Amino acid sequence: MPLEALLWDVDGTIAETERDGHRPAFNAAFAEAGLPWHWDVDTYGRLLAISGGHERISAFLTEVEGVAPDPERVQALQRRKQQHYRRLLGEGRVELRPGVVRLMRQAAAAGLAQAIVTTSGREAVAALMEAQLPEAVSLLPVWICGGDVTRKKPDPEAYRLGCEQLGATPGRSIALEDSVNGLRAACGAGLTCLISRSAFSAAEPAQAFAKAAAVVDHLGEAEHPNRIERGPTCVQGEITLSYLQSLLDPA
């Protein structure tokens, strides 16, 4: 069963955006608005169970104030947060994770279809790509972002739409993810999923990723080999196309 497509999550998978970008950007927006809130790592890690920045702010405001927030207030905070996020990207605060560009380029050279599938807004994705991966338009021609679906991860809608737009068979496609919500979404759409643990999913119990075909600490580079937590042996210390093919054709 030949591999047809790679579908990439963004936040935590392509880059540590949650830790180094989104969380500090939210805190900067709160401080600028004179709000007495600061999302520490533990608080933000808990809020990541809620997909989407707009939804995350709404849930937090409801929690701390006891009433549903004014949508315009939420939108204003989200806009300021996005401006701070773009600033942080421009300052080089967020870098791509090991092995990401290598694997994208290998897949493109092999003629595989590739897409982004994320709960983030298109503006945030574009800002990251402009700052760190200018060739994204050619490597990743299809972007499925939070505003393109009615139900975000863990619902499988985004992955189904991604496969549809790529013309790819879900059973011959692999999702690269870092989170439990992403894993559920990918599996729900019929894709095989590889988990590359991120800063915020590093402490998740192994059982949380039981449905993943493989779990690694990152995709790996020759000078920075990865560690396989579960799945086939990765002798090169790098996730390669042949390794991904082996996930579709288990012995």
CATH number at residue 10: 3.40.50.1000
Share of the chain above pLDDT 90, in %: 89
Domain count, the chain: 2
In a shared domain, residues 159 and 68? no
Q: Count other Cβ atoms within 10 Å, centred on residue 233.
A: 8
Annotated catalytic residue 9: yes
Q: What is the pLDDT of residues 59-108, one digit of tens each?
A: 999 998 888 888 999 999 999 999 999 999 999 999 999 999 999 999 99
| Judgement on whether residues 187 and 75 belong to the same structural domain of the protein | no
Which of 11, 40, 42, 249 does the annotation list as catalytic? 11
| CA dist list (Å): 118 to 61, 123, 126 | 23, 12, 12
Residues 43 and 112 placed together within one structural domain of the fold:
no
Q: Which of 9, 40, 155, 178 is catalytic?
A: 9
* 234 and 115 within one domain: yes
Q: Quick one: 113 and 69 in the same domain?
A: no
Residue 165 sits in the same domain as residue 240: yes
Closest CA to 208 of 181, 235, 170: 181
pLDDT value at residue 54: 85
Residues 144 and 210 in one domain: yes
pTM above 0.85, yes or no: yes
Q: Are residues 35 and 64 in the same domain?
A: yes
Residue 251, pLDDT score: 63
pLDDT of residue 126: 96
Q: Give the pLDDT score at 217.
A: 98
Residues 148, 118, 153, 4: what is their CA dihedral angle, to the nearest 10 degrees? 100
Is 249 noted as a catalytic residue in this protein? Answer: no
206 DSSP assignment: G
Q: For residues 56 and 107, state if they share a domain.
A: no
- 78, amino acid identity: Q
Same domain, 201 and 155: yes
Give the CATH number, domain containing residue 68. Answer: 1.10.150.240
Please say which residue of 90, 105, 129 terminates a domain. 90
Domain ranges, residue 41: 18-90
Average pLDDT over residues 180-198: 98
* Contacts with 57 (C-beta within 8 Å, 6 or more apart), sequence order: 26, 69, 74, 77, 78, 81
* Tens-place pLDDT, residues 114-128: 999 999 999 999 999
Q: 90, 118, 148 — which closes off a domain?
A: 90
- Out of 71, 90, 109, a domain closes at 90
Q: Which pLDDT band holds residue 181 (cuts at 50, 70, 90)?
A: very high
Flag the least confident range among 67-81, 171-185, 200-214.
67-81
Same domain? 100 vs 85: no
Output the average pLDDT for the chain. 95
Q: Does one domain contain both 84 and 126?
A: no
